[in-house]
Amino acid sequence: MQVVHTVADLRATREALGASVGFVPTMGALHEGHLSLIRQSVAENDATIVSVYVNPTQFDNPADLERYPATLAQDVVLAEKAGADMVFAPNYAEMYPDDFHYRLDETDFSRMLCGAHRPGHFTGVLTVVMKLLNIVSPAAAYFGEKDYQQFQLIRGMAAAFFMDVDIKFGPTVREEDGLALSSRNVNLDAQARAQAPLMHALIDSDRSDDEIREQLTTAGFEVDYIVSHDGRRFAAAKLGGVRLIDNVPLGESS
Ligand code: PAF
């Protein structure tokens, strides 16, 4: 498997991979959720490229960026084991030769849910994903269902700009106790880790959004939002300083 760091090297080697390239963009610290997306791409395409880039323009909070895990050597091993053909791991100068003077804005759904609590977050996400898709030119790109708002915004962007790429999502992968896998979970201390699954248990129940907010707050979560929208219930809250997000389809509680 090849690891490339520059746009020029990616483009020089990309041709040889074939027409149907699947792409899994990540910020590294790969876990089973990412690996299931890589496997999905491997099954559906001639070749799979994984990007590992912690994109600073989507962090509204410098402390969150500072403590975001960076594990490239391990990510390369895991991506290869899952069947990826290439890892693209650029740096800021490579991704932002314009120093983020050009950016992509969505003015409706991106202002809701996570966008309402993390100003500028989705502008950073859409801008970097547009850049990555233009660099990699994949037939399909894969995103996690856990970040459902992100997935919908990226799918909307691809449609709005007539981009020739299939935007797909793979199901949220969970720990046995229901906690959605996230690269940020490593930052939960033992007490927060023990409490964290409560968020999924409640949003997947038949309680109202308000009841869930109240119960989580009582349990020590700092709730950003519990919102039912378009057939899904979305939740975001901080626990022990770590931001957790999750969502479930409505009416399918187990
Ligand atoms: O979901 C993520 O890890 C990131 O938001 C993404 C899509 C890789 C863009 O930086």
Whether ligand 1 lies within 6 angstroms of the CB of 183 is answered as: no
> Which fold does the domain 183-247 belong to in CATH?
Pantoate--beta-alanine Ligase; Chain: A,domain 2 (3.30.1300)
Ligand 1, atom 8: closest residue by C-alpha: 26
Structure tokens at 100: 């983020």
Q: Ligand 1, atom 2: nearest CA belongs to which residue?
A: 26
Topology of domain 2-170, per CATH?
Rossmann fold (3.40.50)
* Ligand 1 atom nearest to CA at 147: 1
Among 141, 150, 148, 138, which residue's Cα sits nearest to residue 55? 150
Q: How far is the CA of 58 from the centre of ligand 1 (A)?
A: 9
Annotated domain spans of the chain: 2-170, 183-247
CA 11 to chain centre: 24
- Across the 254 residues of the chain, what is the mean pLDDT of every consecutive 10-residue run? 97 91 98 98 98 97 93 98 98 98 98 97 98 98 98 98 98 98 96 98 97 98 97 97 96 62
Which of the following is catalytic: 34, 101, 200, 229? 34
pLDDT at 19: 80
Give residue 18's pLDDT.
Answer: 84
Which residue is listed with tokens 């709730």?
223
State in Å, rounded, how far the first CA of the chain is from the last one: 41
Q: Which of 46, 50, 37 is nearest to 79 (CA)?
A: 50
Give pLDDT, residue 107: 97
157-173 burial code (b ≥16 CB/10 A, e <16)? bbeeeebebebbbbebb
Q: 114 CB less than 6 Å from ligand 1?
A: no
- Residue 148 CB contacts under 8 Å (≥ 6 apart), including other chains: 169, 232, 234, 247
- Do the first three CATH levels of 2-170 and 183-247 match, i.e. the same topology? no
| 198 Cβ closer than 6 Å to some ligand 1 atom | no
pTM, 2 dp = 0.96
Which of 125, 135, 168 should be mutated for ligand 1, with most atoms under 8 A from CB? 125
Point out which residues pair with 166 in neighbouring strands: 140
21 class by beta-carbon count within 10 Å (0-12 exposed, 13-18 middle, 19+ buried): buried
